[in-house]
Structure 1
Amino acid sequence: MRTDPVTRRTMLGRSAAAGGALTLGALLPGEAMAAGRSTGTADATANAAAAAKKGGYERIGVRPLINGRGTYTVLSGSLILPEVREAIDAASRQYVQLDELADGVGRRLGELTGAGFGMVSSGCSAALTHASAACTAGGNPDLHIQIPDLRGFTKTEAVIPKHSRNVYEAAISAVGLKVVEVDTREEMKAALGPQTALVYVFAMPRVDESELDLKTIAELAHAEDVPVLVDAAAEVLTIPNVHLERGADLVAYSGGKALRGPQSAGMLLGREDLVRAAWVHSAPHHGYARGFKVGKEEAMGMLAAVEMWVRRDHKAEYAKWTSWLKTIAKRVSAAVPGVTSELVQPEGLSNRTPTLNLYWDAEKRGVVGQTIVDALWEGEPRIAINPASGKNPGQSGLAVTPYMLEPGDEKTIADHIVRRLKNPPPAPAKPKPPSVDASGTWSLEITYAAGSSSEHGLTLKQDGAKLTGTHRGDFVSRAATGSVSADEVTVRSSYGEEHGDSLSYAFTGKLSGDEMSGRVDLGEYLKGSWKATRTS
């Protein structure tokens, strides 16, 4: 994460994040890290790697993978640390009262991070929802049980700068808050008032590129007594916390990414009164949030992950990741003539890992990066990496992120890239001249992966092999583009994150007379089928 619609992952992969060009040493826990770093973590992780590969997935027909992409939730995030596994196991062996546990964990998280107070949630998205409820209802049980019906509430709106609109803001509106978008300082001043529950900021590069940077947002919001919530899901944890230092009141993190805690956990840090209120608006309490349950195992596992964060040797980890990428670059460049490499050392906070880009002339090599990516995904072992856009015309490439690799994975990745480049998979068939005309208005029926169906519409205009038009959905119409090869039709449409949501359709099928049918790929919403009838 967001041509695909922009996602958190693609935005997090772009240059500097909200913190700007800060060095790793300035961001990571300095004295605490040096004083208490664990020398046994790397060895313990390596020793556990073999056992981790035997997770029992194959016996139910699920293929494990080597993760060279990063902390993607759909790829199950990161591998938890051995110390986290131990904490989870220990926590599972005794009973505890969960409100007392939340208090003890919250105080300890505050001590470790210097952030006042903390709370473990069932993922970062849940942390955002609980924080929004805290800013809306303040821990008042009488209000809590009404959420998300905010009729009669004073605070009913969440202000979100245009640069922070994204799919994850659904966690904010889930509380019932109306989103008010602003793009300038004057618009924000006009939007803030007694009805404003909070301002939500998505930590990413576009924040500092706007006149509404975090410091400015905090100044304007605090003048109206409105708290500021930062979504830092995939970022490294900074001590002292860079977002709180810049004026945020609350900041939320994923537990199963950089922290290598439980994949089903997240963390909220910040003002103690608001974090304590967020816990009131969380399970095991009833109401809207009962489903966001956090067990004693996740709570103690998340705490162990933070305790390890301040002990881990982050510089040594970073050096190890860089060395793995150099091994891949050296092996591939030496074995495959014409391949060049680029090692990118990112700045900023988010997903802080180096990235290796491998480039080649696509025409001379006879293969593009996406074809190699697909072949590695389907191969054995299954390997997940990303395609890379070439720097020069005609170039294609691959991108490898080492964050989630285990020792030895770098050699496996290098060997399989070499094999695929030396013996490329068959290239996709070249387009043929159109033999049909898809122009017109079409009644479109989609059957989704879950079996339910929906009536949509397509209006298409064909110019040679090129298609343009409109895809009308259940609620929203979006621009459609595509192409025709012989009697095969491809149509794509997307609804971007600038609206606070993201949804893409890729229709492929055959046209005969006034009927079309085929398969539709909805990305994270899986695949389905479709058929269309021309009405005019």
Structure 2
Amino acid sequence: MPTTTVSPSRKVLGKSIYDSIGVRPLINARGTVTVVGATRVLPEVQVAMDEAVKDFVQIDELMNGVGLRLAEITGAEWGVVTSGASAAITVATAGCVTGGDPDKIWQIPNLDGMKDEVIIPSYSRSAYDAAAKAVGVRMVEVNTPEELKAALGPRTAMILVMASGASEDGPLSLKIIAALAKPLNVPILVDAAAEGLEVPNPHIAQGADMVAYSGGKYLRGPQCAGLLIGRKDFVQASWITSAPHHGFGRGLKVGREEIMGMLTAVEMWKKRDHAEEWRTWISWANYISHHLEQVPGVKTELLLPKGRSNRSPSLHVKWDISLIPLTGQEVEELLWENNPRIAVSGAGSYLPFPPNMEPNIRINPSQLAAGEERVIAKRVYELLSNPPQIEKPSGPAALDLSGLWDLEIQFVASVVNQTFMFEQKGNEIFGTHHASFGPRDLTGTLHGNDVLIRSSYTNEGVRLNFQFTGVVSNDNMDGILSLGEYGKAEWNAKRRHY
């Protein structure tokens, strides 16, 4: 039978289990970012997960026992383990829409006759809105207490607040929102994915009914687990909409090993030596800083977190680009292609827009293993002390692209037709990319026949960043489209003649 188990000899050689399938492991100097593996799981959590798989258990009974324990630890009325913070938002939304009524659960996403609106402050709009919208609700954005008061009504299922954007003394603080929502019994959900577990819970104390956390971030639990704690009736209604129960949330499954791993992470929160963890992170950042500042033109700054989210330090590394002719993006890419692969700043994640053309990177030490700080210091030192020559497009534009172009994109399983509208000034390109979701501004360059076009749509939490690279020939152009986290596609465009 095929196996991906790494043999002892491969382990001795320092190989990873991922090498056995041709996938490169990496050093995570970005922090608890999902796409590069998120958190370094606590050893106690791994032991709990290993123990949990040895026996079977009825999942509802298990979650009931966990709910009692979570209430005891967190001080909240109840808690459940979900398949991540995003899933916690989804099931909480479904729970507020349905109230735990199975008939309504089976009606989702058709919300006819049901509460079908979620109010969200403008400062809370993000890509994670999609977790609530999956239920079929309409997001209602508000900016002031007056707008919130006008938006509240019989169709309001819930109010969603992003903890990292909320200000305790702002015009739409959680306290102000709660003062308007409580008399109407409209529940408030706070997304606190990257926070730790303060007791008493600061969000519940300010009026939140439920709070969602990620297991794969500061809590150092399983990446595919999260936490929903708060008011017992709403949290239990949310659990009913989730797996193992059939209907809308069946796919949001969390296994017995993840449930016990997440519970262990919560129990360990009070036992961990947070001060010692912090001292270790600072020492690693200082080690890297000391080495890099020996390079002429390099300066570093230790950045400390503000607020409750992502409570870890990071090292800001910047350099004199006249001495070290590399942009931040180029250094990120060079480290990403390094052996071992090192992820810093935004490497390995979505396509940044605009790209980091400044001479700086950020290094987060919170997910390193002992010794990896030395690898990072050595490799970044080598790059900045002896920067490679990177060939960049140059020369005048071969032609003028101004006008309307018909664009065809070959995605992995579909072909779509869109348009470019260009205005060109020398090598610089400006205009509009009319895509399927909506129009967005574009910028780009044309050097000789080499074209680069970037477009971005980031309204209402949507995150679409496209980068077209290719070659122009008369009235045609084609090449490769980088879709960031969504992979790559092929594209071609033809100038439209009238």
Tell me the amino acid that sits aligned with residue 415 of structure 2.
S
What is the SS of the residue equivalent to 1:455? Answer: strand
1:199 aligns with 2:199: no
Note the residue ranges of structure 2 that are not aligned, 5 or more in a row: 1-10, 348-356
CA deviation digits over 1:43-87, x for unaligned, max 9? xxxxxxx89975410010101000001111100111211111111
**8 Å CA contact retained: 1:160, 1:180:** yes
**8 Å CA contact retained: 1:506, 1:522:** yes
**8 Å CA contact retained: 2:86, 2:128:** yes
Residue among 264, 268, 276 paired with 1:308: 268
**8 Å CA contact retained: 2:396, 2:427:** yes
The alpha-carbon deviation at position 452 of structure 1 amounts to 2.2
Instruction: Give 1:148's aligned residue.
Output: 109
The alpha-carbon deviation at position 150 of structure 1 amounts to 0.7
CA deviation digits over 1:109-143, x for unaligned, max 9? 11111112111011111110110111111111111
After superposition, the Cα gap between the structure-2 partners of 1:79 and 1:426, relative to the gap in structure 1 and judged at 3 Å, is: same
After superposition, the Cα gap between the structure-2 partners of 1:511 and 1:246, relative to the gap in structure 1 and judged at 3 Å, is: same
**8 Å CA contact retained: 1:387, 1:397:** no
After superposition, the Cα gap between the structure-2 partners of 1:294 and 1:124, relative to the gap in structure 1 and judged at 3 Å, is: same
120-129 vs 460-469, which moves further: 460-469
1:414 aligns with 2:377: yes
Tell me the amino acid that sits aligned with residue 435 of structure 1.
A
Q: How does 1:357-368 map to 2 (within 5 A)?
A: 357-368=316-327
CA–CA distance in structure 2, aligned partners of residues 484 and 209 of structure 1: 48
Q: How does 1:9-158 map to 2 (within 5 A)?
A: 54-153=15-114, 155-158=115-118
**8 Å CA contact retained: 1:372, 1:424:** no
1:252 aligns with 2:195: no
CA–CA distance in structure 1, aligned partners of residues 130 and 12 of structure 2: 38
After superposition, the Cα gap between the structure-2 partners of 1:54 and 1:312, relative to the gap in structure 1 and judged at 3 Å, is: farther
After superposition, the Cα gap between the structure-2 partners of 1:206 and 1:420, relative to the gap in structure 1 and judged at 3 Å, is: same
CA–CA distance in structure 2, aligned partners of residues 285 and 147 of structure 1: 14
Q: How does 1:223-372 map to 2 (within 5 A)?
A: 223-334=183-294, 336-372=295-331
What is the SS of the residue equivalent to 2:95? Answer: helix
The alpha-carbon deviation at position 426 of structure 1 amounts to 1.8
**8 Å CA contact retained: 2:30, 2:346:** no
After superposition, the Cα gap between the structure-2 partners of 1:248 and 1:480, relative to the gap in structure 1 and judged at 3 Å, is: same
Q: How does 1:418-429 map to 2 (within 5 A)?
A: 418-429=381-392
CA–CA distance in structure 1, aligned partners of residues 290 and 317 of structure 2: 11
After superposition, the Cα gap between the structure-2 partners of 1:512 and 1:387, relative to the gap in structure 1 and judged at 3 Å, is: same
CA deviation digits over 1:283-326, x for unaligned, max 9? 00000111111110110010011111111011111111001100
After superposition, the Cα gap between the structure-2 partners of 1:505 and 1:264, relative to the gap in structure 1 and judged at 3 Å, is: same
Residue among 488, 491, 494 paired with 2:450: 488
After superposition, the Cα gap between the structure-2 partners of 1:54 and 1:305, relative to the gap in structure 1 and judged at 3 Å, is: farther
Q: What number of residue pairs does the alignment pair up?
A: 479
Tell me the amino acid that sits aligned with residue 140 of structure 2.
V
The alpha-carbon deviation at position 398 of structure 1 amounts to 2.1
The alpha-carbon deviation at position 387 of structure 1 amounts to 7.3
Q: How does 1:159-178 map to 2 (within 5 A)?
A: 159-178=119-138
**8 Å CA contact retained: 2:408, 2:415:** yes
Tell me the amino acid that sits aligned with residue 299 of structure 2.
T
State the identity as a percent: 49
Tell me the amino acid that sits aligned with residue 377 of structure 1.
W
Residue among 398, 401, 421 paired with 1:435: 398
CA–CA distance in structure 2, aligned partners of residues 237 and 325 of structure 1: 25
After superposition, the Cα gap between the structure-2 partners of 1:191 and 1:53, relative to the gap in structure 1 and judged at 3 Å, is: farther
Tell me the amino acid that sits aligned with residue 225 of structure 1.
N
The alpha-carbon deviation at position 206 of structure 1 amounts to 5.4
**8 Å CA contact retained: 2:189, 2:208:** yes
Tell me the amino acid that sits aligned with residue 110 of structure 2.
D
The alpha-carbon deviation at position 197 of structure 1 amounts to 0.5
Instruction: Give 1:29's aligned residue.
Output: none
Instruction: Give 1:46's aligned residue.
Output: none
Instruction: Give 1:466's aligned residue.
Output: 428
368-377 vs 175-184, which moves further: 368-377
Tell me the amino acid that sits aligned with residue 439 of structure 2.
S
CA–CA distance in structure 1, aligned partners of residues 113 and 345 of structure 2: 49
After superposition, the Cα gap between the structure-2 partners of 1:326 and 1:467, relative to the gap in structure 1 and judged at 3 Å, is: same
CA–CA distance in structure 2, aligned partners of residues 163 and 52 of structure 1: 49
Residue among 439, 456, 463 paired with 1:477: 439
1:222 aligns with 2:185: no
CA–CA distance in structure 2, aligned partners of residues 515 and 80 of structure 1: 51
**8 Å CA contact retained: 2:393, 2:450:** no
Superposition RMSD in Å: 1.9
What is the SS of the residue equivalent to 1:236? Answer: coil
The alpha-carbon deviation at position 431 of structure 1 amounts to 2.7
CA–CA distance in structure 2, aligned partners of residues 441 and 197 of structure 1: 44
Question: Which protein has greater RCO, CA pairs closer than 8 Å, 6+ apart?
Answer: 1
**8 Å CA contact retained: 1:329, 1:341:** yes
After superposition, the Cα gap between the structure-2 partners of 1:109 and 1:51, relative to the gap in structure 1 and judged at 3 Å, is: farther
After superposition, the Cα gap between the structure-2 partners of 1:106 and 1:181, relative to the gap in structure 1 and judged at 3 Å, is: same
CA deviation digits over 1:172-211, x for unaligned, max 9? 1111111111111101000001211110001124545741
Q: Could you tell me the TM-score, scaled by structure 2's length?
A: 0.93
After superposition, the Cα gap between the structure-2 partners of 1:337 and 1:370, relative to the gap in structure 1 and judged at 3 Å, is: same
Tell me the amino acid that sits aligned with residue 468 of structure 2.
F
CA–CA distance in structure 2, aligned partners of residues 51 and 435 of structure 1: 56
CA–CA distance in structure 1, aligned partners of residues 373 and 237 of structure 2: 45
Note the residue ranges of structure 1 that are not aligned, 5 or more in a row: 1-49, 389-393
Tell me the amino acid that sits aligned with residue 119 of structure 2.
V
